[in-house]
Structure 1
Amino acid sequence: MNKTELQQNKSLPSKQERHKLFGSVEPGPRTKPIDKNKMADLQNSKKDFLFDIDMVGISNVKHPISIPSTMTPEIQTTIGTFSFGSSIAKGSKGTNMSRFTEQLDKYHREGFAIDLTTLKTFTEELAGRLKESDAEVEVSFPWFFERKGPYSDLSGMNHAHATIRVEYDEKTGHDITCTLTGTITTLCPCSKEISEYSAHNQRGNVTMSVKLTDDFDEQKTDWKAALLEAAESNASARIHPVLKRPDEKMVTEQAYENPRFVEDIVRLVAADLYEYDFVEAFEVTCRNEESIHLHDAVASLSYDKKQELK
C-alpha cells in the first residue's frame, strides 16, 4: 500500500472534534440582549466630546458599478473603489458606519450608474440617512475606451483611471472634483537636439484634477473624454493597443515631429483646460517613466480661474 492509499484510509475524528483539537470551545453563557432596541448604542451617545470631527467614514470599499461614456463602449461595467464620510459635531460620539454601506446597497439594487447627477443625489440622501448636514463620496475606477490604429484602423481597448469626488453641504450645495490619469508617449526634445539620429522616448502619465462649474451639463459634455483629449492631443503621440507596421511608422514619426518635455506637457494641457468653460480650477501633473534613467521626470501646475476676478 502506497502513501496516498494510507492517507485515504486514515480514520479522522468528526469535524466537531477536529475543531476542538484546534482550539474551538463551547459557547459561553449569553447575558446581553439580542434585540436591537434593547442594545446599547454607543455611537449615538450625546455629551461634550471635546472636538468637532471634520470627516469620519469608511474607505477602500470595492463595488460593481456601471460607467456611461460618449466613447465606445458607451456603457461598461467595472469595479469602483469608494470612500464615504461626513462631519460630526463634538456633541456626538460617532457616526453610524453601517449606513454608508446600506446607502451603497440601495443604489446598487436600483442600478448604480456613476454619473454626476446620481452622485449628487447620493450625497444628499446620505447626509439625511446619517442625520448630518453634510456628506461626501469619492469613487475611483478604470475607464475603458476604444482606440483604433491610425493607418490600419484596427481597434483595441485602452484605459484611463478616473476619480469623482462629490462633497455636499446643506448650506452651500455640491462641490465636484473630477480626476483623470491618461497615458501618453513623450519624446525627449533634448535627445533629439543633441543626437546625430534618433531620440529616446518614454511613457508619460498625465493626471488632471478639475473643479467643475456649478452649471456643468454632463448631458452635453463627457468630462472623461474631454480630459483625455486634453492629455493626448498635446502629447508627442497617443498610446495604441494594436499597431501594425504602417501604424507604428506613423506613430513613431509623429512622436519625433512633436518632442515634449514634462514642462511642455503640463503647460499645453493647462492651456486646453483653461479654455474649457466648464472647468473652474485645475491641477495638472505629468510623470515620465524615463527610458534612459532609473528615475522619473515630473512637473505640475495648478490654476484657479476665480483668482482672475480678484
Structure 2
Amino acid sequence: MNEAVKKQLPTKSERHKLFGSVEPGPKTKPMEKNKMKDLQNTKKDFLFELDAVGVSNVKHPVTLKSQLEPKTQTTVAQFHFASSISQDSKGTNMSRFTEQLHSYYQNGFTLDFATLKSFVFDLQQRLEQKDAELTVSFPWFFERKAPYSEQAGLNHADAWMRVRYHEEFGYDLKVGLTGTITTLCPCSKEISEYSAHNQRGNIEMEVTLQPEFDDTLYDWKHMLLEAAESNASARIHPVLKRPDEKMVTEQAYENPRFVEDMVRLVASDLYEYETVEQFSVKCVNEESIHLHDAIASISYDKREE
C-alpha cells in the first residue's frame, strides 16, 4: 500500500506573493494627524446645503428598560446618525459618529430619551453644524401570559426611536412600533352559518411625542402596544393550552374587526394620549382566504386643530 505523500507548501510570505502581494512601496506622506490634509474641513462655496450626511446600518448592543417583564433587557440595535451640512462645508467627519457611540457605550448605553437627547446635542456641538439626529431601531421583548392557564412566554415587537436636535427649534421626538394581532372578519361572521375566517394582522404606528416627554413616567412602547392589542379581535400568545385557546378563539369571534376598524380604533387611543402630538397608523392583514393582503391607514396631526 502506497504511503500518502505530504504536500510541500511554500512559506506563507511566498504564498502571499504567489497570489499578488507586493513589497510595501516608499512612504512619503505624514502619519501624524496634525500634518495630514483634512479635505472634509475644506471651506468653500460647495453649491448646495445638504439635508443629511452621516452613517447608517450601525449595529450595537444596548440596554432597554420596560414597564413589562423583562423590565431590563439587552438587545442589538441598529443606528442611523446624521446632520445637515452647510453650503460652505465640504463634508463631515464620519468617524465622530461611531467614536461618540463607543464613548457612550463605555458609560452604559441605555435607550431612553435623556440619553438620546444628550447624545444628539453633543453630536451637534462636536460636528459644528446647526443640527444632528439619531434613529435607532431594535426588537423589544415582553412577557405574555395565557388568559386561563397563565403559562408565560416572550413575544416581541419591532420598535424605533428618532431624536433630532436643532439649535433654533430644540428637540423633535418620534417613535414607532409594529405590533402583531389577530383579526376576525366581520363579513365572514355575518354571512356564514357557523365559524368565520381570521388572520394575523400587523399594526404599524408612528408617533410624534411632546418634546418634554418623560419616559421615566410613561413607557411609550407599552402605550403603542396596548393601543394596537386592546382594539384587536384577540391578542397573540406564545403559549396556549386548550382552555386558553378556547378563550382566545371565542374572544376573537366576539370582537370582529376589519382593517378599517382597526386603524380607526387605534387612532382613537393615540388621539387620547395627551403626550402624543401627531400619529399615523397602518394595518396590514395577511388574509387567510386570499393570496393578497388587506390594508388601511390613517394620519392625524393634533397640532393643526
Matched residues, number: 305
1:163 aligns with: 160
2:42 to 26, 41, 45: 45
1:137 aligns with: 134
* Structure 1 consecutive aligned stretches of length 4 or more whose deviation exceeds 6 Å: none
Give 1:25 shift.
1.3
2:243 aligns with: 246
1:31 aligns with: 28
1:259 to 244, 256, 263: 256
Instruction: Give the letter for the 2:4 counterpart.
Output: L
Give 1:195 shift.
1.4
SS in 2 for 1:6: coil
2:70 aligns with: 73
Give 1:214 shift.
2.7
1:220 aligns with: 217
Supply the distance in 2 between the matched residues of 1:38 and 1:19 (Cα, whole angstroms).
33
Supply the distance in 1 between the matched residues of 2:69 and 2:28 (Cα, whole angstroms).
59
Give 1:199 shift.
1.0
User: Residue deviations 1:139-191, cap 9 Å, x none?
Assistant: 00000000000000010000001100001001111000010110000111111
2:184 aligns with: 187
**Structure 1: runs of 5 or more not aligned:** none
Supply the distance in 2 between the matched residues of 1:81 and 1:240 (Cα, whole angstroms).
27
Percent of matched pairs sharing the same residue: 69
Supply the distance in 2 between the matched residues of 1:105 and 1:291 (Cα, whole angstroms).
46
1:6 aligns with: 4
2:84 aligned with 1:112:
no
Supply the distance in 2 between the matched residues of 1:57 and 1:215 (Cα, whole angstroms).
26
Q: CA RMSD in A?
A: 1.1
> Structure 1-normalised TM-score?
0.96
Supply the distance in 1 between the matched residues of 2:166 and 2:19 (Cα, whole angstroms).
52
Contact 2:113 2:214 in 1 (8 A): no
Give 1:22 shift.
1.3
Give 1:32 shift.
1.1
SS in 2 for 1:26: coil
Contact 2:145 2:237 in 1 (8 A): yes
2:16 to 14, 19, 23: 19
> Structure 2-normalised TM-score?
0.98
